[in-house]
Chains A and B, each alone.
With several copies, the nearest count.
Chain A
Amino acid sequence: MSDATLDTIPATKAKPEDGTARPVSFRGGGFAPKPRRWVGLVVFLVLIAIAEWGTRAGWISALTLPKPSDVLQTFQELYASGLLFKHLGPSLSRLAVGAALGVSLGVSVGILIGLFSYIRAGMVPLVAALFPIPKIALLPLFVIWFGIGEGSKYALIAFGTFTPTVVATYGAVDNVDRTLIRMGQSFGLSWFSIVRKIVLPGAMPGILSGLRISLAIAIILLVAAEMLGAEYGIGAYILQAGSLYDLERLFAGVVILSVLGVLVSGAIAIIERRLLGWRT
């Protein structure tokens, strides 16, 4: 812990008498945060407790924040009525299909950019120009381009995950150790062997850590995607709650997305541990 070093006395300060022996003073440690798992939980519980207290006591107005207990109750009702899965099902399938499309396309394009000069020169500025375009601005167009069925939802999520995946992937390919590639060449490996056996696995850590961001974005875009004619779905549920100013349901929906995000990030951590066990 960094906290520990604050009380350190520099070795120069103390001046013992000549000839005396005294232990060398400690001045190391710190700057290496250690895990303290329970603190995170405590922080959440305290925040929720404060919100509950405030909304009950009235110094947090009902307009500002719903009672956490009411949110919980809404959530239970949602679960009991079976609607939870009716909303979760379509959302998850949209996430899965959209993200799978965007990520696989993004990884492919990213690798091509990483390998070929001309593709790089042509695509990189294009991707840079696409990145800052807000997807919600394009909603009306997506309706025309992909319809109001599942197509446009997949497309929106795919589009949103595509650009960050491309950027992460070609960065990862650029970072693959060139000596490994030269090694492959020096043993006469074919171009495809080098790409498959050296470039791809070498880029995997970067691709996976890009995936963390891409998938978080996919979850964020779920709401935008479900603006387009979705009857069921967590995003649609949130939007409806928002338009009815029903804060309990709004928060219940947001909590679901938040949990979803944490789960996805946990899943990637597990995949990383599996796939990247070779990292030191």
Chain B
Amino acid sequence: QNTKIKVGALRFTSHSGSFVAKDRGYFADAGLDVELEFFQAAQPMAVAIASGDIDYAVTAISGGLISLAQKGAIKVIGGALIEEEGIDGQQILASDAAYQAGVTSPAMLDGKAYGVTQTGSSFHYVGDKIAQAEGISMSFKPLQKVGAVIGAIKSGQIDAWNIVPHIAKPLAGSGAVHIIGAVQDYLPGYQTTTVFTSTDNAENQRDKTEAFLAGFSKGVTDYNSTMIDMADGEAGVDEMVKLIHQYVYADRPFEKAKPSIVNGTMRINEGAKLNMASVQDQLEWFKAGDYVDQGVTIEDLVNTSYVETMS
């Protein structure tokens, strides 16, 4: 009898690791009976891990996540999406108005408005890092919902934003916004998303957690090799897109969904490797901004005993 677990996911391409592992039976092979729980936003996913409603999930590091980790509720156990040179990562966008006014690279964003979902969100982190690197200052507009940010940048009410490629590319294609840079130029090796679980799972249920990571990693490997390394050619891509289409853009016809899914391709860390340097940097940034308690340590946040770390 397989152990029943629940895995949280968003209907985004970046969660393909879990989709593939479930669909191709890798979780089952690892002795897990996985049920996917879908969320509309990343933040409730962290809370749901804390409340014990789900066991594992993948999301960006946010103030809320660190807060919950400090309360002893959750732990990061591995890495997922990462910015890697040579592969399309998160794009920096400028609104058409700003672009026409001469903002053609992030360096020209001085004094401009940068869209974020919340103060102390990962967007804020990225924007602030860009500003620091360029030695400029920007104002950050909290708009809560990705949709609201899209609306704001399309109508030129904010000047810039960063977002994953599967959203960035079609937006740029429509001509309403322009890509003016890539996040990886500023934050090489940025650990965009991490795998995390409850402290109880991480500390007391080692077998289960290892089994999950094993299954998940297999899914990630499949995904990377098919979509990025093109190991199985176009046919392989088609098959993979079909698999993902069951979970993402399910209500659109396949033809419409495919470009979006392909556009969204980003590398996910093999073996859920975790870039500790990036995590450490993010934690320091949150502390510096006073978005989280000053007493949080990297040990509160991460359990490094599961996966290989890089630094």
Residue ranges of A at the interface with B (Cβ–Cβ < 8 Å): 62-63, 77-78, 81, 83, 139-141, 143-144, 147-149, 226-231, 236, 239-246, 249
Contacts and interface: CB of A to CB of B under 8 A. Distances in A.
A86 to B, nearest CB: 9
B215 interface: no
Interface string B37-68: 11111011111101111100000001110011
Contacts of A78: 251
Nearest to A145: B51
B142 A140 contact: no
A243 B48 contact: no
A77 B167 CA distance: 23
A206 B157 CA distance: 41
Interface of B: 8, 11, 37-41, 43-48, 50-54, 62-64, 67-68, 71, 73, 118-121, 141-148, 150-152, 154-155, 157-158, 167, 176, 250-251, 253, 291-292
A227 B152 CA distance: 13
Contacts of B150: 140, 244-245
B150 to A, nearest CB: 4
A63 B151 contact: yes
A263 B52 CA distance: 38
B147 A139 contact: yes
Contact of A243 (B51, B73, B147): B147
B147 to A, nearest CB: 4
Nearest to A62: B71
A148 B53 contact: yes
B148 A228 contact: yes
B292 A244 contact: yes
Contact of A148 (B63, B119, B152, B250): B152
Contacts of B11: 240
B142 A230 contact: yes
Contact of B148 (A139, A149, A249): A139
Nearest to B41: A227
A236 B142 contact: yes
Contacts of A144: 47, 50-51, 151, 154-155
Contact of B40 (A77, A149, A227): A227
7 contacts: A63-B68, A139-B44, A139-B144, A140-B64, A148-B37, A243-B145, A245-B63
A245 B67 CA distance: 6
B155 A63 contact: yes
A83 B249 CA distance: 12
Contact of A140 (B8, B43, B62, B176): B43
B142 A240 contact: yes
**Among A141, A226, A241, A242, which residue has the most Cβ atoms of chain B within 10 A?**
A242
B120 A229 contact: no
Contacts of A229: 8, 37-40, 44-45, 48, 53-54, 141-143, 148, 152, 157-158
A228 B155 contact: no
Contact of A227 (B52, B119, B148, B291): B148
B145 A140 contact: yes
The 10 closest A-B pairs by CB, nearest first: A140-B147, A143-B151, A227-B144, A244-B63, A242-B147, A245-B150, A143-B47, A245-B67, A229-B141, A231-B38
A227 to B, nearest CB: 4
B157 A143 contact: yes
Given A143-B51, A144-B47, A244-B291, A81 B251 contact: yes
B288 to A, nearest CB: 14
A78 B188 CA distance: 38
Contacts of A228: 44, 143-144, 148
B38 A243 contact: no
A246 B147 CA distance: 9
B292 to A, nearest CB: 7
A129 B150 CA distance: 27
A276 B155 CA distance: 48
A203 to B, nearest CB: 38
A147 B63 contact: no
Given A140-B147, A148-B158, A240 B120 contact: yes
B144 to A, nearest CB: 4
B53 A149 contact: yes
Given A243-B120, A245-B147, 9 more contacts: A63-B154, A144-B154, A147-B53, A149-B53, A229-B143, A230-B142, A240-B118, A244-B67, A245-B63
Given A229-B142, A239-B40, A239-B144, A246 B152 contact: no
Nearest to A242: B147
B151 A141 contact: yes
B120 A143 contact: no
A97 B8 CA distance: 25
